[in-house]
A = this chain, B = another copy of it.
């Protein structure tokens, strides 16, 4: 038996395809479903890993840029468990930042391909960046993990629609889980602790999953559907320390049937390590 590969690294793995530079084979795992498709953060992680493979090695006098500083995904069609192809292109190689584009595609069942997400990104090297950080933001004030609600306590029907949750050790602040008891607060906040069940420690790539791994903040607004994402942009601001992440989701405005969901991710040392915002379609309330 070789070394155990973590569930996240296995689920987001990409393999360079022989003879097709910039093209990678991947697989969308059945264990990363949520609602009607494969989790959007996981799709982003797969595309992000392919871009890291393209930009993460030095090229002549251009340094290696292994980490996503900013990455945007536009969700075109829902991903389904099964094989996938990632096609990348390098837009620019710079001294401090390089840019790439990626498309994640699957077989359309009729001999063609259908695109799931299109991605643009700026990559850099967080290890070489100025360590100085200042922020006026404060980490979410959470009860300790053992005083929070674990996904193990979620109803089986909920877990069945979200196989993703079996891979996450997610502890939600009870003050933000009214939706689970049919009593959403309407506050537009969900926050909690997050780590991987198998102990895989966070790194910049895992943060692309973390920003989209909690239940949609729309739940706490009384919108119980899965709120499909149109667009998600994440900024990775620092390399996370090992241990629990804290994730704070907020939404302030619903208009035209859409809402934004902002995520902040904090590491175990109290640093703000990622920010994201997505635009999601608000599902119609159940009648």
Hey, which chain B residues are within 8 Å of A253, CB to CB?
133-137, 237, 272, 275
CB proximity of A232 to chain B, nearest CB, Å:
9
A146 at interface (Cβ–Cβ under 8 A)? no
Q: Across the interface, do A133 and B99 meet the contact criterion of CB distance under 8 Å?
A: no
Binary flags per residue of A249-280, CB closer than 8 Å to B gives 1, else 0: 00011111110100000000001100101010
How many A residues touch the partner, as a band? 35 or more
Q: Give residues of chain A (69-109) contacting chain B, Cβ–Cβ below 8 Å.
A: 69-70, 72, 74, 76-77, 91-92, 96-97, 99, 101
CB proximity of A212 to chain B, nearest CB, Å:
15
Q: Across the interface, do B135 and A115 meet the contact criterion of CB distance under 8 Å?
A: no
Shortest Cβ distance from A278 into B: residue: B70
A231 at interface (Cβ–Cβ under 8 A)? yes
A191 at interface (Cβ–Cβ under 8 A)? no
How many Å lie between the Cα of A255 and that of B67 in the bound state?
15
Q: Across the interface, do A130 and B279 meet the contact criterion of CB distance under 8 Å?
A: no
How many Å lie between the Cα of A122 and that of B255 in the bound state?
16
Identical subunits present? 2
**A237-B255 contact given A118-B120, A230-B122, CB 8 Å threshold:** yes
Q: Which 8 A-B pairs have the closest CB atoms?
A: A129-B256, A133-B255, A70-B231, A135-B253, A72-B72, A130-B257, A137-B252, A233-B233
- What are 13 sample pairs from A and B whose C-beta atoms fall under 8 A apart? A69-B279, A70-B74, A72-B72, A72-B120, A74-B120, A74-B122, A91-B115, A122-B231, A129-B258, A132-B254, A237-B253, A237-B256, A260-B275
Binding site for B on A (CB under 8 A): 69-70, 72, 74, 76-77, 91-92, 96-97, 99, 101, 115, 118, 120-122, 126, 129-137, 187-188, 230-231, 233, 235, 237-238, 252-258, 260, 271-272, 275, 277, 279, 281
